[in-house]
Every structure is written in C-alpha cells, then in structure tokens.
C-alpha cells in the first residue's frame, strides 16, 4: 500500500490550486449571484490540459490517471464547486461516453476539440419522468432511411446552454426495455435541437442546468454512439467513473468550507478568547477533518482501482455516497462555526453549504448509491447461504 502522492501529483495539485485561486476565487460570488458561467475561464482549463484529463495524448488529452483527475476535481471544487460540476459533466459524461463507446472516427472528430476546450460538452439522460429510473426514458429516435429522427425533451442537463456537443440517450426499440436505448452525438446547430428552460437553482448556480429539446431532429447514422440499444448500459458505465469525479468534487467542497471555518475560528474572539479555544469548536473541527480524510481515501481508492482496470461499481458508489454526505455535514458545520456571519454572503461558507447539496443528488442520489452498494454486497452472499 502506498498512501503518498508522487511529486508530479503534488505539482499538479499546486498548479490547479494556483489557477483556481487566481482565476476563480475573486469572482465566485458574482458568478453565483448572476448565474454566469465563465466560458473564458473554462477554456483556460482546456489550455492547462484539465478538460482532456483522462484521455490519451494522441487524442489531445493529458493522459492523466483517475487519481490525478480526482486531485484536479478536488482543487477546482475547493474554490468553486459549480465550475467543477460543469467540468465533471464535460469530461466524465460527454467526452468519456464518446471515448468509451464511440467509433474511431467519432473519437478523432470530437475528443481533441472537447479536450482542448474548443468545444464544450453535455450529456443528457434525465427526463422529467425518468430520473433515478432513467431506464424509463421516453425521448425517441426512429430510423428513417439512412437517418435517425429524435423527438422528446431532457431535463437537468449540465452545460445545456453552452454546449457545442450533446450525447443524448433515446429509445430506439421500446420493446427491448433498457437494451432498447441508444446514444447519439448531436452537434449544436443541428436543425431540431435547442436548449430550453434554464433552471434557477439553490446552489451550483454558475453551472448552467436545463432542458435539451429535440423536435424532429434528424441526424445521420454516423451520429449513433456505440452499439444500437446499448446506450443505457453504456450510460451506467459512464456513471461508475463519473461518480468518482463527483466524490472528488464533494471532498473539495468540504475542504474549502473546512479551511474557511478553521481560519475563522482562529480569528474570531468571544468571551475574550478565540473561538478555536472552545472545546465545542475543536470537536467540530476534529470531526470535519476526519470526515474529509476518510472521504478522500475512499475516493482515491476508487480512482486507483479504476486506473488498475478493476470494476468500481460498488467502490465508486461508496465514495460518492460517503463524500457527498460528508460535504453536506462539513459545510453545515462550517456555517455553524461562523455563527451569524456564516449566513452572510461576505463569507464563502454559505455558498459551499448551498453547492454541497447537489452532491447527494446528481449522478444518482444517495438512496440510489445505497441500492447500487446493496446489490453488490448481496450478490456476494446468496440468501440462506452459510458462511
């Protein structure tokens, strides 16, 4: 076992931290209030190699491992979780779906542009009536000659309003249930596709979230991504990796709030003493620090397993479940340590508190993570089996 990080990984952490502190930190509150997504800053992440983090260099990627990618996500989220959310959807969902399931032609056409940040990606699975039960997708794709014609609407798509490329799941054979859903790559500007309502959210406000609407959207066969009927199954594989990035995002969110609370506790005086001298505050800080370390270890273990080609279905769900609940707990305590000032926008913790909640919902709720974990745990022990 090796719990240390390489000098390259320490350097990577430093580079992303410096970038986030310089380019994001001064603006995070303004972007949050105005729900403005800074496309220019996002494109600079492309120049740093972040947007193609886990893809090979011959496709324009940076060739980083998932452990490296977790470090990147953590450091972005430590300053602005909503930029991290848009980054995660771009890399782990959209680009990774094309990389994992797409043809060689599709990889060559899309991945270099997505990795550089020239194009922004989004990934549409969720529908108004099909959230946790995404197999209940209604959006359809019907074959018409050499083309597919898509109709339907997706909801809650991260990056919907800024995306150049959308990977969308649509039913191609209703009788085949979850093996009748296929993935399609739709370029912005294709007639019949548009972004719809942009959601006004509790947190993650600078990351645009909204509808993708398909109305008689006609695309050639070449836009089918992966095998016909396997889009949903491929989506579940995407989510296994995606959950590692959301877990890392949650760790970073908790870390940012914890650091702010630690610093505040060493400056704020009540009853003639710094509040960090009160045992009640020390207990909170100790629990927060311990929670964050445990969440980071689970996340990095899942990332390490993925790097080593192992199945991470259970481990990524565990990391995502635990880290997201830690983010909610830690940001809540960070607000509490700030007292009334934690409720005020002059301090960063109220934003971390609002942003953290998304982690227990996006890419599968905590309840769904428990279902995934329980399914794996029960699989290894059949009912009635003696041990």
Ligand X SMILES: Cc1cc2nc3c(=O)[nH]c(=O)nc-3n(C[C@H](O)[C@H](O)[C@H](O)COP(=O)(O)OP(=O)(O)OC[C@H]3O[C@@H](n4cnc5c(N)ncnc54)[C@H](O)[C@@H]3O)c2cc1C
Residue written as token pair 């006004």: 200
Provide the minimum distance between the beta carbon of 129 and ligand X in the complex, in angstroms, as a whole number. Answer: 8
Residues that bind ligand X (CB under 6 A): 89, 123-126, 131-132, 156-158, 201, 204, 209, 358, 361-365, 367-368, 371
Q: Is the CB of 12 or the CB of 98 nearer to ligand X?
A: 98
Say how many CA atoms lie within 13 Å of 246 toward its Cβ: 32
Q: Residue 153: what are its φ and ψ, rounded to 5°?
A: -140, 145
Q: Write out the two tokens for 76.
A: 């972005």
Nearer to ligand X, 199 or 259 (CB): 199
Is 333 a residue of the active site?
A: no
CB nearer ligand X, residue 224 or residue 358: 358
Nearest distance from residue 89's CB to ligand X, in Å? 5
What are the tokens at 116? 């550089």
Catalytic residue from among 57, 363, 367, 385: 363
Least separation in angstroms between residue 354's CB and ligand X is: 11
Beta strand pairing call for 121-124 and 165-171:
parallel
State which residue has the least CB distance to ligand X. 131
Q: What is the DSSP string of 213-243?
A: EEEEEEEEGGGEESSTTBHHHHHHHHHHHHH
Nearest to 227 by CA among 186, 168, 175, 180: 180
Closest among 252, 245, 235, 160 to 201, alpha carbons compared: 160
Instruction: Give the start-end residues of each E strand in 15-164.
Output: 121-124, 140-144, 147-158
Give me the least distance between CB of 286 and ligand X, in Å please.
Answer: 30
Coil vs helix vs strand at 130: strand
> H or E element: which one contains 185?
strand 181-187
Q: Pick the closer one to ligand X by CB: 158 or 245.
A: 158
The least distance separating ligand X from the CB of residue 105, rounded to whole angstroms, comes to 25
Q: How many residues does the chain have?
A: 387
Nearer to ligand X, 123 or 148 (CB): 123
Residues with a catalytic annotation lie at 363
């Amino acid at each position: 076992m090796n719990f240390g990080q390489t000098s390259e990984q320490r350097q990577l952490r430093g580079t992303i931290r410096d970038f986030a502190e310089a380019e994001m930190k001064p603006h995070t509150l303004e972007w949050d209030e105005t729900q403005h997504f800074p496309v220019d800053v996002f494109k600079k992440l492309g120049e740093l190699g972040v947007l193609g983090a886990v893809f090979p260099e011959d496709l324009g990627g940076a060739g980083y491992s998932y452990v490296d990618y977790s470090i990147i996500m953590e450091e972005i989220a430590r300053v602005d979780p909503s930029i991290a959310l848009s980054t995660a959807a771009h890399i782990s969902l959209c680009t990774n779906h094309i990389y994992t399931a797409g043809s060689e032609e599709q990889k060559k056409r899309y991945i270099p542009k997505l990795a550089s940040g020239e194009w922004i990606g989004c990934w549409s699975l969720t529908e108004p009536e099909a959230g946790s039960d995404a197999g209940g997708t209604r959006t359809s794709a019907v074959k018409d000659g050499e083309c597919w014609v898509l109709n339907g609407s997706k909801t809650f798509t991260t990056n919907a309003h800024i995306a150049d490329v959308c990977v969308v799941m649509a039913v191609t054979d209703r009788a085949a249930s979850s093996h009748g859903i296929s993935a399609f790559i739709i370029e912005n500007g294709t007639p019949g596709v548009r972004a719809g309502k942009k959601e006004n959210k509790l947190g993650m406000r600078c990351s645009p979230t909204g509808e993708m609407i398909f109305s008689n959207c006609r695309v050639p066969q070449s836009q089918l991504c992966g095998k016909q009927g396997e889009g949903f199954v491929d989506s579940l594989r995407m989510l296994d990796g995606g959950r590692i990035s959301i877990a890392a995002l949650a760790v970073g969110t908790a870390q940012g709030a914890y650091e702010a609370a630690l610093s505040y506790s060493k400056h704020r005086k009540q009853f003639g003493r710094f509040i960090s001298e009160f045992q009640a505050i020390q207990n909170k800080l100790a629990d927060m620090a311990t929670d964050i370390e445990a969440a980071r270890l689970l996340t990095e273990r899942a990332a390490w397993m993925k790097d080593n080609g192992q199945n991470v279905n259970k481990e990524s769900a565990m990391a995502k479940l635990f880290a997201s609940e830690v983010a909610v707990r830690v940001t809540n305590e960070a607000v509490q340590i700030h007292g009334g000032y934690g409720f005020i926008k002059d301090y960063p913790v109220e934003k971390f508190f609002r942003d953290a909640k998304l982690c227990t919902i996006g890419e599968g709720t905590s309840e769904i993570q428990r279902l995934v974990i329980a399914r794996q745990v029960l699989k290894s022990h059949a009912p009635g089996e003696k041990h």
